[in-house]
Amino acid sequence: MSPDSATLPPVRSVPFTSPLSWLARGWRDLWKAGGASLLQGAAVAVFSLLLWVLGRDKFGLLVGALSGFLVMAPVLATGFYVLSRSLERGEPARMAEVLRTWLFWQSHYRSRWDHDYWCLVRLGLLLALAGTGWVLTSAAMITLLAPAPVRTPYDFLLLVVLAKDNNLFELWLVLGSVLAAPIFASSVVSIALLLDRRIGLWRAVLTSWQAVLANPVTMALWSFLILALVLVGMATFMLGLALVMPWLGHASWHAYRDLVDSSGLPERQPRSEEPGMGHEQDKAIGS
């Protein structure tokens, strides 16, 4: 282990309008990747639509599930990061590369029990736990505090959003924000960083926080744009998510590349798949 292995990679301060550039570059990557990107977006849209169909009569629970979906979005975006990284390297952006990354994302490890091997899985489980906690909290809050059962979007609008005799909607928003803010700060660049470079889980999370703290106004705009686009996708009976999710996934890759100077860290997945290349890299890095 090198002496500076515990230090964080440098983060950059970026202009306030950078999120617009990320969206523009993400849009370009979306169409360059083509079917490989749109196929993943369609899978997200179909899953969301099924969630809507199954929970349409229990809207109080559905609202929590759909908002919890946002918590898991950074993990779902991993496939889009893979495609944008391939395009950045001048390599073909193919679905085969996405599948290979999901199934054998660190095929060159000496041992798959290495502490660093499971970092993405661990972060995904933490986000899943946070999302599940929010779903249960949201459903319990709406069930217990709403003046009548909330079964439809109209019920939610009438009994929660527009209710004048309680502050349920405000409380729901505050608690949701309290959960969402630290999750956003922890995951906005950490998953892309973990995918791209050999770095431990907590160093990646701290780097993500550092990027947010260095660019608070810019990242507030970025979070607003993410929320707005996802809501547009959901408002089209989830079908718009087939386009919105790939777009945001590719844009998030460019956010990571602009915000974090990861050049001092070794690549997690070598550019070349020559036998032994990753093994030698692991020897040089250690754990």
Which is higher by pLDDT, 208 or 101? 208
What is the rounded average pLDDT of the residues 3-13? Answer: 77
Question: How far is 104 from 117, CA to CA, in rounded Å?
Answer: 11
Indicate if the pLDDT at residue 29 is higher than 90.
yes
Average pLDDT score over the chain = 82
Beta bridge partners of residue 11, listed in sequence order:
260
Residue 104: pLDDT over 90: no
Alpha-carbon gap, residue 178 to 138, rounded angstroms: 13
Question: How many angstroms separate the CA atoms of 193 and 190, rounded?
Answer: 5
What's the chain's length in residues? 287
Mean pLDDT of the region 76-95: 93
Question: HSE-up of 101 (CA within 13 Å, CB side)?
Answer: 26
Cα atoms found within 13 Å of the Cα of residue 276, Cβ hemisphere only:
0
Return the SS3 of 150: coil
- Most confident of the following: 69-73, 118-122, 172-176, 205-209: 205-209
Q: What is the pLDDT of residue 237?
A: 84
In this predicted structure, the answer to whether residue 287 has a pLDDT above a threshold of 50 is: no
- Residues of the chain with pLDDT > 90, as a percent, come to 44
The larger pLDDT score, comparing residue 259 to residue 179, is at: 259
Q: Which residue has the tokens 């998030």?
A: 252
The 10 Å CB-count burial string (b at 16+, else e) for 147-181 is eeebbeeebbeebbeeeeeeebbeebeeebeebbe
140 band by pLDDT with thresholds 50, 70 and 90: confident
Q: Residue 101: pLDDT band by 50, 70, 90 thresholds?
A: confident
| 1 pLDDT above the threshold of 50 | no
| Pairwise pLDDT comparison (34 vs 283), residue with the higher score | 34
Mean pLDDT over residues 126-150, rounded? Answer: 82
| % of the chain surpassing 70 pLDDT | 79
Give the pLDDT of residue 281: 39
Confidence of residue 177 (pLDDT cuts 50, 70, 90): confident
Quote the pLDDT of residue 2. 40
Average pLDDT over every residue of 113-117: 54
Q: Note the pTM of the prediction, 2 decimals.
A: 0.82
pLDDT, one tens digit per residue, over 32-73 is 999 999 999 999 899 888 877 776 666 666 666 666 666 667
More confident residue, 165 or 196: 196
- What is residue 272's predicted lDDT score, i.e. its pLDDT? 46
Asked whether the CA dihedral 171, 172, 174, 179 is positive or negative, the reply is positive
Q: What is the C-alpha separation between 123 and 129, in angstroms, rounded? A: 10
Map tokens 């550039």 to a residue. Answer: 21
d(CA 281, CA 287) in angstroms, rounded, equals: 11
Two tokens at 194? 């973990």
